[in-house]
Structure 1
Amino acid sequence: MTPDEYAAALEAERAARIERVRYVVVPDGDAFLLTRRNGARQSRGVAWYVSQETADLAAALLNRLKEDEA
């Protein structure tokens, strides 16, 4: 494997890890549920928020941390 092929394989793996999990805000009645959604679109609740702005901020922060980790 050449260095360029190795770098491309690492980048592909990083991109796949980023796409696996996303944090998404879902409205639920008068609250907003922060969910963790996987590549198969299965999700589970992480936290409830009263304000949509706060929920969106938490989702953006967690998605950014996930990208930095990858």
Structure 2
Amino acid sequence: MTDEEYAAELERERQWRNERAEYVVREEHGGHHLMRRNGSGQAWGVTRYVKPETAALAAAFLNRLKEDEA
């Protein structure tokens, strides 16, 4: 495997990891729910926030951590 092939494979794996799940915010029942959504569109709740700004900040932070991890 050449250096170029190796670098391309690492980039492909990084993109795959970033696409498989993300954190989103949904407003339901008077609260703002931070949810983790997988590549199939299924989502499950992580926690609930009163303020939408806090929920959005948490989602952005977790998505950024996920990108850095990949």
Which of the five TM-score ranges fits, normalised by the shorter chain?
over 0.9
Which residue of structure 2 lines up, in the alignment, with residue 33 of structure 1? 33
Structure 2 distance, partners of 1:39, 1:30, is 27
Which residue of structure 1 lines up, in the alignment, with residue 47 of structure 2? 47
Which residue of structure 1 lines up, in the alignment, with residue 14 of structure 2? 14
* Deviation of the 1:29 alpha carbon: 2.1
Give the TM-score taking structure 2 as reference length.
0.96
Structure 1 runs (4+) deviating above 4 angstroms are none
Give RMSD over aligned pairs.
Answer: 0.6
Letter in 1 for 2:53: E
Give the TM-score taking structure 1 as reference length.
0.96
Structure 1 distance, partners of 2:61, 2:36, is 13
Q: In percent, how many aligned pairs have the same letter?
A: 60
Structure 2 distance, partners of 1:8, 1:69, is 18
Letter in 2 for 1:13: E
5+ residue gaps, structure 1: none
Structure 1 distance, partners of 2:61, 2:14, is 18
Residues 1-28 of structure 1, C-alpha deviation per residue, up to 9 Å, x if partnerless? 2110110011000010011110000000
Letter in 1 for 2:57: L
